[in-house]
Amino acid sequence: LFRSLGKEELADRIKEWAKKDDKFRSLFLVRFSKPDHRIDIEKYARVLVNVNKHKGSHNRYVDFDDDLPDVDKADELLHEMETNFSRTSVSEIISLCFAVFKVIAPSLYYVDDSDGDFSGLIEEAVDLLDTAIRQKEMPEPIRKETFDLCLKYHTTKGMDIDGLDFAVIEIAGDLLNDDIEKKRLFAVLDGLEKSNAGHYTEERIVEIRKIVIERFEGKEAAEKYLE
């Protein structure tokens, strides 16, 4: 059937389906758009918000005035990028992951997440982001921008639930590349230490500092810090 259709006719049909089905359109764009090698969080954030679409009709939402995140679409987009990881640019992966943080995380304050659908998506985005920065080549401007985003987005509303904020800070620790960035990261950790000095918080802060010190100053300096 595909072979019998001309290119123009097939393209027209795809356009029709894309107009009727925004999920299909989003997946099509993610799969086939040529990456422009820049981080564009809003491109995906717009796709992940269902403005007024199901407002007042979803019993898992407490505050019906909030725009509802499209968890199914977020799940499909993350899956699409995981499946096509080798063919997807690092800038596209970073854009989607931070869009998930921006759109999905705040909803943890007003949804019933007892089944872990929402927090699970954020954890999946953290894992995908972590894998991308470890396995993909990152141009220096993208690395620096991603480091800045990690320091900014750990404060996104909802990221403080289940330690998701620390997961993003840990990624910043893996990304930092010089003493200035190290001081910026440690300043963030100092602020967290002062504002919420609970046992769990202290442990995470110590672990992140240790890893960074070991990278920059060696194992002996890290062991001395732990003592």
pLDDT tens digits along 68-96: 788 988 999 999 999 989 988 899 999 99
- Rounded CA gap, 127 and 70, in Å? 20
Nearest to 88 by CA among 79, 75, 101: 79
- Rounded CA gap, 130 and 97, in Å? 10
Predicted pLDDT at 195: 67
Rama region for 163: left / alpha / beta (φ>0; ψ in -120 to 50; rest): left
Q: What is the DSSP string of 153-179?
A: HTTSTTTTGGGHHHHHHHHHHHH--SH
Please state, in angstroms and as integers, the Cα–Cα distance from residue 9 to each residue in 17, 23, 82, following that order: 13, 21, 31
* Amino acid occupying residue 73: K
Low-confidence ranges of the chain (pLDDT < 50): 52-59, 61-64
Tens digit of pLDDT for each residue in 126-159? 999 999 999 999 999 999 999 999 999 988 988 9
